[in-house]
């Protein structure tokens, strides 16, 4: 019973945390720290009492009410300290505090929370940290571990971000429609960054999981934004290939050599369905196009049987909406698969000449591969050595070293 | 919520980059009319500035601007806005947001801790 109840609480924590925090931020007039403390207290209270009394019929309402009572209590005690809080506490005395009789009556303000956490007036590190704390419900210690900084540093970063929200009056709201094109990409950027942070590192898969969960929340709350769906699709399609990306020794496995039977068919099916629905709105943005490329890979039986001409077209489309030399490089790789190494080498040489990617190891690794396929072994080896010097992680260096042998 | 809007020049601005910037007179008329701009003016360049500090009860003056601001501050406005989003919108419509840089500083409210 006890273990079951604890598991139930852990289950509602995932989505409940951010909903209660959001409701409490609104309730306290923007006191983020108090909102978090009260949410924490509410869950602690549930852990204490539910195993005895049983799970209430409306658990979210129970928790939100507990958090709110805690907030009222804390405000009253603090009321001598500051005029603003005193005013608030007095208003609370007169006005009947709202009670939350059922889960469905609690407004869902997680979207407000997302837009505030990812406000462009906060620096990116602060946006990421705040998103993990307020939305994903990770503790400061957990966030610090994920980003390899001391807990104190992370605590300071989150504290400063909350201070700036209060002092600069960053509003707790969903921006009006005319600001959305500027503001939605910031949320997408933060969530995708979290996903990637967890994708590259086996020890941080939790970050990817949280990113996918929050992307689901975002696309549910913004059903008319195809890029939100596109990003969720992209995450699912990448995540589906996670089991085959690294072998038993922890070595990276290239797409060509991955065991496709290990790919997660449910995630691929869900990702492609979400993507197709998004594309029907005919407002393809960078996330939808990247998801379409990922879908080509995820649904192909082998590298040879992949629809490379379609991938070439998608990279050309991507280069139009989000031009970058990395997109050009990936385009060249696809050309190499469809039309042979000579055609691709000409493109890669042009990218190399441009110079912007000269310290990007994959440029040199790609060039090495194309040179090898053209029969220019000595030049290929030179390129591989350059790539090896530039590769940022140990698994990547091992993969390149193997090719040099 | 009050914001101090520091209007700064950008010495690195490439010619032609500020093309299409709004007119300052229109901006002033609109923001005064809406009650958003409470006060504002141009200020003389750093060469006309005097810095004042009191050390050991002695008033020390120096000729020129305070180190970091150098010659960048060209003017200021005081805005009354609902929140930062509104202040950003107002600032982004000022011609010097196109031809220079604008810094928004919220006023310190007594109740707020440091």
DSSP string, A93-106: HHSPPP---SGGGS
Q: Parse chain B into domains and list their residue ranges.
A: 2-106
Q: Which residues of chain B lie closer than 8 angstroms to A84, CB-CB?
A: 111
Q: Parse chain A into domains and list their residue ranges.
A: 2-108, 307-405
Is A170's CB within 8 Å of B85's CB? yes
> Contact A295/A272 with Cβ under 8 angstroms?
yes
> Contact A325/A354 with Cβ under 8 angstroms?
yes
CA distance B106 to chain A (A): 5
Domain A307-405, architecture per CATH: Alpha Horseshoe (1.25)
Q: Is the pLDDT of residue A169 over 90?
A: yes
Q: What is the mean pLDDT of residues A56-68?
A: 94
Q: Which residues of chain A lie closer than 8 angstroms to B2, CB-CB?
A: none
Relative orientation angle of helices A325-339 and A361-373, to the nearest 10 degrees: 20
Domain B2-106, architecture per CATH: 2-Layer Sandwich (3.30)
> Which residue blocks in A100-225 are alpha helix, DSSP H?
110-117, 124-130, 140-146, 151-167, 180-199, 205-221
CA distance B75 to chain A (A): 21
Is B85's CB within 8 Å of A179's CB? yes
> Contact B85/B63 with Cβ under 8 angstroms?
no
**pLDDT (tens digit per residue) in A337-365:** 999 999 999 999 999 999 999 999 999 99
Is A82's CB within 8 Å of B104's CB? no
| Spatial separation of the C-alpha atoms in residues A223 and A218, rounded to whole Å | 8
What's the predicted TM-score (pTM) here?
Answer: 0.87
Cα–Cα distances in Å, from A149 out to A129, A140, A152, A190? 12, 11, 8, 18
**pLDDT (tens digit per residue) in A249-276:** 888 899 999 999 999 999 999 999 999 9
**pLDDT (tens digit per residue) in A4-35:** 888 899 889 988 999 999 999 999 989 999 99
Among the ranges given (A67-81, A145-159, A356-370, B37-51), the one the predictor scored with the smallest mean pLDDT: A67-81
Phi, psi of B55 (to 5 degrees): -130, 130
């Amino acid at each position: 019973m006890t273990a079951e109840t604890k598991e139930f609480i852990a289950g509602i924590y995932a989505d409940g945390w951010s909903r209660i925090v959001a409701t409490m931020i609104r309730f306290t007039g923007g006191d983020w720290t108090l909102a978090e403390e009260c949410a924490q207290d509410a869950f602690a209270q549930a852990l204490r009492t539910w195993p005895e009394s049983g799970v209430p019929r409306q658990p979210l309402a129970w928790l939100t009410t507990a958090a709110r009572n805690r907030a009222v209590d804390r405000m009253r005690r603090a009321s001598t300290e500051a005029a603003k809080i005193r005013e608030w506490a007095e208003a609370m005395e007169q006005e009947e505090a709202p009670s939350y009789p059922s889960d469905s009556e609690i407004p869902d303000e997680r979207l407000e929370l997302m837009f505030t956490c990812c406000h462009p007036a906060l620096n990116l590190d602060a946006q990421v940290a705040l998103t993990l704390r307020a939305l994903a419900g990770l503790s400061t210690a957990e966030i610090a571990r994920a980003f390899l900084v001391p807990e104190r540093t992370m605590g300071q970063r989150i504290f400063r971000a909350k201070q700036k929200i209060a002092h600069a009056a960053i509003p707790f709201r969903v921006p009006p429609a005319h600001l959305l094109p500027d503001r939605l990409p910031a949320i997408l950027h933060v969530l995708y960054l979290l996903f990637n942070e967890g994708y590259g590192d086996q020890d941080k898969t939790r970050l990817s999981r949280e990113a996918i969960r929050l992307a689901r929340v975002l696309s549910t709350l913004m059903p008319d934004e195809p890029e939100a769906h596109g990003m969720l699709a992209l995450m699912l399609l990448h995540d589906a290939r996670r089991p085959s990306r690294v072998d038993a020794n922890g070595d990276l496995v290239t797409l060509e050599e991955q065991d496709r039977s290990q790919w997660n068919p449910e995630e691929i099916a869900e990702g492609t369905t979400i993507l197709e629905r998004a594309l029907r709105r005919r407002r393809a943005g960078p996330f939808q196009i990247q998801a379409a490329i990922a879908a080509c890979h995820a649904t192909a039986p082998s590298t040879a049987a992949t629809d490379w001409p379609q991938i070439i077209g998608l990279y050309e489309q991507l280069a139009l909406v989000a031009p970058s030399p990395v997109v050009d490089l990936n385009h060249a790789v696809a050309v190499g698969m469809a039309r042979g190494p000579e055609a691709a080498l000409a493109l890669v040489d042009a990218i190399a000449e441009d110079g912007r990617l000269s310290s990007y190891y994959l440029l040199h690794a790609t060039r090495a591969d194309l040179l090898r396929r053209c029969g220019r072994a000595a030049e290929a080896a030179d390129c591989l050595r350059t790539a090896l010097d530039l590769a940022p992680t140990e698994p990547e260096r091992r993969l390149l070293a193997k090719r040099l042998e | 919520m009050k914001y101090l809007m520091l209007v700064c020049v950008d010495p690195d601005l490439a010619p032609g980059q500020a093309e299409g910037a709004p007119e300052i007179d229109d901006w002033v008329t609109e923001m005064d009319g809406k009650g958003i701009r409470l006060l504002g003016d141009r200020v003389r360049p750093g060469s006309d500035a005097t810095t004042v500090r009191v050390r050991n009860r002695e008033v020390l003056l120096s000729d020129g601007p305070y180190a970091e601001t150098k010659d960048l501050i060209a003017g200021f406005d005081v805005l009354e806005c609902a929140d930062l989003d509104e202040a950003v919108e107002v600032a982004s419509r000022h011609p010097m947001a196109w031809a220079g840089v604008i810094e928004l500083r919220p006023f310190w409210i007594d109740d707020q801790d440091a």
